[in-house]
Structure formats: C-alpha cells, structure tokens
Amino acid sequence: MMRLNVPLLGEEEASAVARVLGTGYLTQGTQAAELERLIADLVGVPHGFATSSATTGLHLALAALGVGPGDEVVIPDFSFPATANVVVQQRAVPVFVDIGLDDFGMDPERLEAALTPRTKAIMPVHAFGLVADMDPIMTIAERHGIPVVEDAACALGAEYYGRQAGGLGTAGVFSFHPRKVITTGEGGMVMTADDSLAERLTVLRSHGAVRGERYMSFVDAGFNYRLSDVHAAIGVVQMGRLERILDGRRSLASELSALLRQISGVTPPVTPEGRTHTFQSYVVLLDEELDRDRVIDGMRERGIETTLGTYGMHLQPYFRERFRIDDSELPGATRAHRSALTLPLYEGLSADDLARIADALAATIRDQRG
C-alpha cells in the first residue's frame, strides 16, 4: 500500500534524541530553545514558544489574548476541528466563515459581515500549506482593532508576497505532527512580534509561573503546554532539511499536477500569484457528480492510500447540533468537505509512483462513471 505520507527521518534524528537522553535533562531546555530560535529567525519575529502541539499552541494564543466566555472568534469553516475546539475550550463562540474553492482559505469578502461587537479574534487557516489571502484579512482586522491568529499548522516555510507564514498576524501557530512539513513527533510553536503578548505566553505556557531567585511564583492559572527536549531535538535536525523538504515537495507537486490535468473531473491545487505552497497535503477538488468516498475506496483497492481534504466543521456532529448551520450558508466549505481528496506526496516517490497515482485515479473515476 502506498502511504499518504512518510516523514523524512534518519540517523541524525536518532543521534540527537540519544544525546538528550544521555544528559538526563528531558523536559523543555536547550533543544527547545534552539528550535524556537531557528524558527523565529526563519519567520522574522523575535519570539517563538515551543508547545506540545499546534492545538495547545492555538489554545495558548487565544488565552493570552484574553479570549473568554461569550467572545466570538471568526474562523473558516473548512479546517481540522482543532481550530474550532480551542475556541470552545475558552468558552467562546466560533463563527464560521465560508472559503474560496481556489485556495481553500477564508473568503475575505465574507469576513467583515461576520464581525460583531463581541468579536475578539480572527483566526484564518493556511489550508494544506498555502497561505490564506492575508492582506485583505489584515486590513479588515486592523480597521476594527481585532487581533489575528494565523493557524499556520501546515505552512512552515510558505510565503505571502515575500513574507513568511506565521509572522503575518498578531500571532501564528505551526504544527510539527508527522504529517507536517517537519516533525517532532508531536509538537507546535507560537510565533509573535508583540512583546506584551510574548510575556503572557511565557507565563501561561508553564503553569502560570514566574521564576524568582529561589523558586517560582504562580501569578495565573496557566497550562503545561511545553515541548520536551526529546521532541525538540528531532525538530532541530529537521530544520536543517527544511529547504530540501520544501523544494522536493514542490517539485513532486508540479509533476503530479501535470499528470492530473489530463484527467477529466479533477482540479489540481493552484498557487496564486504572490504566494508559495508547502504542499503539506496535496489536495485536489473532484467534480461534484463524483462520489469522493467511493474514489477513496477505489484508490485503496488499487493499493494507494488517500483521504478527504479536511472537514467542513459545521457538518460535524458536535457543531451541527450546537449551531444548526444550513449547508446553503457555507456552500464552499460544504462542497470542499464532500469533494476534496488528498493524494500521497512525500520525498521518495518516483516518477513511476506519480504515474501510478494518476493512472489509479483515472481508472477509479472511469469505473465510477461506468
């Protein structure tokens, strides 16, 4: 079975972990600090905070911004549900905005209508590694004085008109899950250029503590959202491969797209002018008459793992029951939930592998059309 993704790992990561184990100091320490420095330098902001996952990073960012009960956070409907879950965990209300089907990102034209006096933050998602259309989003946010948290989980190394993802808003959050651009096993990071926000992140990430000369004082009810040095050591090695990983993914994506353009019923991903794509996931959009789930089954029968793109959150049982949003209110997200398909893409795939993916998809579609 051809897997959906295989992380690029080797002896260097194993040796880095062994060195940490040999020190006896396993919690957040020098390796986490080095990973924070490397990513802050890449993004071009002064502050990076390694966290146990991107989900805890998003939660930490919202908590540090003071999002609380009754507040509203505007998010795109098409995303992994962690984007909405962290809002609910703050006892705030997620407000779902539709997406564009060209980039799967928040539609800026629908954003302003979603704002109310209770809006406390805007959280665009850089879907699958393509930066959302941030300039109009930031213009609206600044006009209303609302902070922006980038859910940049998939977008480490992606650019928007020469600026790095994760450094475009008030804060940005990356993921280091094994399916992401680089991995630490599990992990994430919060980025910000805001010094006062950085102070809040420092305290809240580690139990609400401020370290004194002899011991800590606990000044807030914080969290334990730190990243261990065991995990961070893997990330430090991975950062040395980032450029190679991104170049490889983009080259493979270009080759696969050329093959898929020959298949009726499949729209390959696009990269709009001024943006770069990490292709953390390679996601196509199938024509509406095709049953995407049957395509997944057919690809599996042909030995290739695929999956949906991601989730229309208003269609998930918890959010469907709580908010009862009709599909007609979010047509883009509804279509993407039902028609987006993720195909394998990772270093190690050959030209023959890419041809096999394309041939299997074409055959699966032919079978469905009869």
**Inside any domain, residue 248:** yes
Q: What does DSSP assign to residue 167?
A: S
State the pLDDT at residue 114.
98
Task: Please report, for residues 130, 150, 203, 363, the alpha-carbon distance to residue 155 in angstroms, rounded to integers and kept in the order given.
Answer: 6, 10, 26, 32
> For the segment 100-125, what is each residue's pLDDT rounded down to a tens digit?
999 999 999 999 999 999 999 999 99
Which of 239, 263, 278 delimits the end of a domain? 239
**Within a domain: 1:** no
Residue 370 predicted with pLDDT over 90: no
Based on the fold, state whether residues 196 and 252 are members of the same structural domain.
no
- CATH number assigned to the domain comprising residue 279: 3.90.1150.10
My answer on whether 228 and 330 are in the same domain is no
Residue finishing a domain among 209, 239, 269 = 239
Distance CA 363, CA 349 (A): 20
Q: What is the CATH number of the domain that holds 77?
A: 3.40.640.10
- Domain limits at 353? 242-369
173 and 283 share one domain: no
In 3D, which of 83, 72, 65 has the Cα closest to residue 194?
65
User: What pLDDT, in 10s, does the model give residues 57-70?
Assistant: 999 999 999 999 99
Based on the domain organization, do 276 and 207 belong to the same domain? no
Q: Is residue 50 part of a domain?
A: yes
Contact 168, 138 (CB under 8 A): yes
Same domain, residue pair 139 and 235:
yes
173-229 pLDDT, tens digit per residue, is: 999 999 999 999 999 999 999 999 999 999 999 999 999 899 999 999 999 999 999
Find the helix or strand (DSSP H, E) in which 132 lies: none
Q: Length of the chain, please? A: 370
Question: Do 203 and 322 belong to one domain?
Answer: no
Measure Cα distances from 242 to 158, 236, 246, 271 in Å: 11, 10, 6, 20
Q: What pLDDT does 4 receive? A: 97
Interval 14-26: pLDDT, tens: 999 999 999 999 9
Which sequence positions are flagged as catalytic? Answer: 180
Same domain, 179 and 62: yes
CA dihedral 162, 155, 92, 52 (to 10 degrees): -130
With respect to residue 3, please indicate whether it lies within any of the assigned structural domains.
Answer: no
**Spatial separation of the C-alpha atoms in residues 19 and 232, rounded to whole Å:** 12
The pLDDT score that the predictor gives to residue 186 is: 97
Percent of the chain surpassing pLDDT 90: 99
| Dist CA 247 CA 149 (whole Å) | 27
In a domain, 132, yes or no: yes
Tokens 């965990």 sit on residue: 89
**Residue spans of beta strands (DSSP E) within 205-358:** 209-211, 216-218, 266-267, 282-286, 307-308, 340-343
Q: Domain check: are 312 and 258 in the same one?
A: yes
Please give the pLDDT value at position 282. 98
What is this structure's pTM?
0.97
Contact indicator for 266, 361 with CB cutoff of 8 Å: yes
Q: Are 341 and 246 members of one domain?
A: yes
Domain assignment present for residue 294? The answer is yes
Q: What's the maximum distance between 2 C-alpha atoms anywhere in the chain?
A: 75
- Out of 239, 267, 290, pick the residue that ends a domain: 239
Does the residue 2 lie in any domain?
Answer: no
Q: Are residues 107 and 198 in the same domain?
A: yes
Evaluated on CA atoms 352, 350, 187, 163, the torsion sign reads negative
pLDDT at 355: 98
User: 351 with 275, same domain?
Assistant: yes
What is the tally of structural domains in the chain?
A: 2
Whole-angstrom distance, CA of residue 35 vs CA of residue 239: 8
Tell whether 200 is covered by a domain: yes
Rounded CA separation 240/252 (Å) = 20
β-pairing verdict for 72-76 and 93-97:
parallel
pLDDT tens digits for range 86-104? 999 999 999 999 999 999 9
Q: Got the DSSP string for 21-66?
A: HHHT--SSSHHHHHHHHHHHHHHT-SEEEEES-HHHHHHHHHHHTT
Query: CA geometry: angle at 154 spanning 109 and 284, to 5°?
Result: 70
Amino acid, res. 142? E
Separation of alpha carbons 174 and 125, rounded Å = 11
Q: What is the pLDDT of residues 128-187, one digit of tens each?
A: 999 999 999 999 999 999 999 999 999 999 999 999 999 999 999 999 999 999 999 999
Residues 247 and 166 in one domain: no
> pLDDT of 323-357, one tens digit each?
999 999 999 999 999 999 999 999 999 999 999 99
